[in-house]
Amino acid sequence: MLCLGTRRWLAALTFASLTLPVLAAPHQVAAAGHGTSSGQADLGRPTVVGTLVAKPVNGESAVPPQCQSRDMAPVNTAIQERRGLVICTAHGKLVLLELTPDSTVHARFWGPASSGSLRDGDRIRAWGTLGDNGYLLNPTLAVQDMDVQRASTHSQDFVAQDGPHLTLYVLSSDKGGPVEGVVYAVQGGASRVYLCDGAAGTWSDLTPGLTIDISRSLFNRRINTYVDTDVVRIVSCR
């Protein structure tokens, strides 16, 4: 059960999302491609590290125990004026990561990502200038989610259950990659589905019993889910 202060603080974050500028879109992310961005690898030690507990569109989230009893007033004030991500550090401090169009969001190994592909509970590293007694990172230069990656996430899968969240049995995957066993997939903002004859299809064409090939997609290792499924090809023709 969240304490009253936590509820009010997270409610303020939701309010801020209705009144403040839009976060950096995926196409604004500086790192390109699906491997390592050498420029971002030179950032050095992250300024703050913690667990993602809230995004502006989330409303209310599960806050780790070490942050549930903290004084929310300093962060509450900042959230009403700014927009960003909120992490809980190992020392029990809630830190607002203010995002601007110049902020970049990355996956593990520095593959490109977006704020929309991050999930509550993910391990976050961020770089920037820490102020307001450690409650605010502004500007935030870069954010890296250590639980999501694009590298080594190609797989061929059997569709066990269809719908907005596919349930998949992994038949084969990249060696050394995180995709194995039973995994899930949600439709990405620019998902492309191709039928077995190469024609363009839709997400609704991905029905139980099909074998599909997933590539160029963002996979969350913590929840075993393709959180931004890019290219899906049906490889079994009926």
Q: Are 34 and 122 found together in one domain?
A: yes
Q: Are 134 and 23 found together in one domain?
A: yes
pLDDT of residue 100: 87
> What pTM did the predictor assign?
0.75
Burial class (CB in 10 A: 0-12, 13-18, 19+), 123: middle
pLDDT of residue 33: 34
pLDDT tens digits, one per residue of 21-58: 333 333 333 333 333 343 454 678 999 999 998 876 44
Q: Are 98 and 171 found together in one domain?
A: no
pLDDT tens digits, one per residue of 53-98: 887 644 445 566 767 666 655 555 555 555 689 999 999 999 999 9
Q: Are 202 and 110 found together in one domain?
A: no
Final residue before a domain boundary, out of 110, 127, 146: 146
Q: Are 131 and 165 found together in one domain?
A: no
Q: Are 205 and 111 found together in one domain?
A: no
What is the spatial distance between Cα 116 and Cα 38, in angstroms, rounded to a whole number?
24
Q: Which domain holds residue 197?
A: 155-234
User: Residue written as tokens 């169009």?
Assistant: 101
Q: Mean pLDDT throughout 180-194? A: 92
**CA–CA distances in Å: residue 64 to residues 43, 53, 58, 86, 119:** 28, 8, 16, 12, 14
Q: Are 99 and 132 found together in one domain?
A: yes
